[in-house]
Structure 1
Amino acid sequence: MRFDPAPADPFALTGRRVHEAEGRGRRAFALFQAVRHQGPLVWIQPRHAPEIPMLRGLPRGVGERLHLLRPAGETDLLWCLEETLRAAPIGLVIAEPEKPLSLTVGRRLQLAAETGRTTGLLLIRQGAGSPATETRWQCEPEAGERRDTTLHRWSLNKNKKGTTGSWILDWPGATAAFHMVTAARERCEPADAAR
């Protein structure tokens, strides 16, 4: 098996595939991906989910393209997910299944994404990943030195076609722009002009 070198943009999700994000920062990762994908966006949540995306808190350009589906149960959620992945004009499908997906269900979703030429992102509970997904991201908020910053640690723990890694980035949430942050004590300080 040949592995591709690390891409210039480590956060680019492979198109026509289904990916997973877990951890406390998984919804921030989903919004980051929503900003980066063109076209209509679909977010599928169980009807009883206590938190839903609020239009006023979304990054610029996402609210106008977002369609929120709230099916009654897990079976309906998986049906909505598969059918939405098959719909060709959709840019990104985000779904929040409550139970781990079997290999068979995961494979069906991959085939649906290929058919519809759509990218899928499953926001899963910790340890509930499917063996059929292309990548799995661990997403956690990261403490920063400044209070006015939004730091995230996004770790690529599973990648069927490439490398894995972990990154800390500063993403304010308004646009697709972000800044990579180096690990503590590895920051480049400007030279002292007085010397």
Structure 2
Amino acid sequence: MKGNSDKMDRLQALKQEIMALEGYLPAKGQQPDSRLQLGPLHAAFPGGVFPLAANHEFISRTPSEAASTQGFLAVLLGMLLQKGGFCLWLGTRPQVFPPALKRFGVAPERVVFVNVPREKDLLWTLEQALSCEALVAVVGEIRELGFSESQRLQLAVERSRVTGFVHRHQPRSLHALACATRWKVAPVPTPMPTGMPGLGFPVWKVGLMKVRNGRPGDWQLQWDGQGFQEVFREEKRQAITQNSRKYA
């Protein structure tokens, strides 16, 4: 019995080591990256550490969701590029207005946009970009992606230690991919104090649909220029108000 127990312990330790190498778990003693101020999102990841050197999948169904996802990605890139480096943003046609990236904390000169007309060629370009150790991150806006193709992309980031973001707009299938996470981002009206004109900070409904060895969840997040803060849903706000009146 003891022999079987020792074997199970060794297998579990080996599994943990493999997942850490793949970017699905933080390395032993690894602390959250100080650049990534993700607020409540940290608790969803194994060890509270956002998986770098891994691929993250984002799903959009509508143009408004696609635009929201691009804004959310821009915030993540702005955090990752704080200490320098460059990002490659790949797609089949221009969809991002580079000067607008400054609103999300990204210096436009840090992002190189490459448009590839055919998705078949885009997939090859994405794999090559993820293999480039000179980059900090790569964004690939590609509609369809097979599991074996996603495995090649994962192998690429394991070698290069680049962080990849795969944005799929209106994909035909949501089959499993070799990605550390799967996300869905949607727009939310910006909460403003009563009577105040103008626009507030960007707010998104962020759904972490899948995260390996983590805890999926949904949040309404506001980006205030420094990090993410959770915005209370209306029902939570009403409950807090009622409780405060009750005990006043």
State the TM-score, normalized to the length of structure 2.
Answer: 0.66
Q: Greater CA deviation, 176-185 or 19-28?
A: 176-185
Counterpart position of 1:51: 95
- Select which of 140, 159, 167 maps to 2:211: 159
- Corresponding residue for 1:22? 59
> Which residue identity lines up with residue 199 of structure 2 in the other structure?
D
2:86/2:135 contact within 8 Å kept: yes
Mapped partners of 2:116, 2:223: distance in 1: 31
CA distance in 2 between counterparts of 1:7 and 1:52 reads 25
- Secondary structure in 1 matching 2:116: coil
- Establish whether residue 88 from structure 1 lines up as the match of residue 133 from structure 2: yes
| 1:48-96 Cα deviation digits (max 9, x unpaired) | x252332244333431210111112112211111111111121110010
**Corresponding residue for 1:124?**
168
Distance 1:140 1:10 in 2: 19
Contact 2:44 2:216 in 1 (8 A): no
Alignment correspondent of 2:232: 182
Q: Which among 42, 61, 66 is matched to residue 8 of structure 1?
A: 42
- Whether contact under 8 Å (2:77, 2:137) holds in the other structure is yes
Deviation, structure 1 residue 184: 1.2
Alpha-carbon distance change, 176 to 80 in structure 1, aligned in 2, over 3 angstroms: farther
Name the residue aligned to 2:148: 104
Secondary structure in 1 matching 2:159: helix
The DSSP-based 3-state class of the residue aligned with 2:169 is: coil
Contact 2:94-2:115 within 8 A present in 1 as well: no
In structure 1, what is the equivalent of residue 35 of structure 2?
Answer: none
Structure with more relative contact order (C-alpha pairs < 8 Å, separation 6 or more): 1
- 8 Å CA contact 2:74, 2:105 repeated in 1: no
User: Deviations along 1:90-129, whole A, 9 cap, x unmatched?
Assistant: 111001013x211110000000011110110011124544
Cα deviation digits, residues 124-167 of structure 1 (max 9, x gap): 12454452111110100112442623221101001122110111
CA shift for structure 1 position 177: 2.3
CA RMSD in angstroms, aligned pairs only: 2.8
Structure 2 distance, partners of 1:63, 1:109, is: 25
Distance in 2, matches of 1:124 and 1:135, equals 13
Q: Structure 2 regions of 5+ residues with no counterpart?
A: 1-11, 17-23, 26-39, 193-197
Query: Which residue pairs with 2:36 in the alignment?
Result: none
Query: How many matched pairs?
Result: 187
Number of the residue aligned with 1:134: 180
Contact 1:13 1:19 in 2 (8 A): no
- Does structure 1 conserve the Cα–Cα contact (< 8 Å) formed by 2:79 and 2:105? no
Q: Contact 1:34–1:62 at 8 Å: present in 2 too? A: no
Highest CA radius of gyration, 1 or 2?
2
Q: What is the SS of the residue equivalent to 2:234? A: coil
**What's the counterpart of residue 148 of structure 1?**
199
**Contact 1:32 1:176 survives alignment (8 Å):** no
Higher fraction of helix: 2
Structure 1: gaps spanning 5 or more residues: none
The residue type equivalent to 2:169 in the other structure is: R
Q: TM-score, normalization: structure 1?
A: 0.82
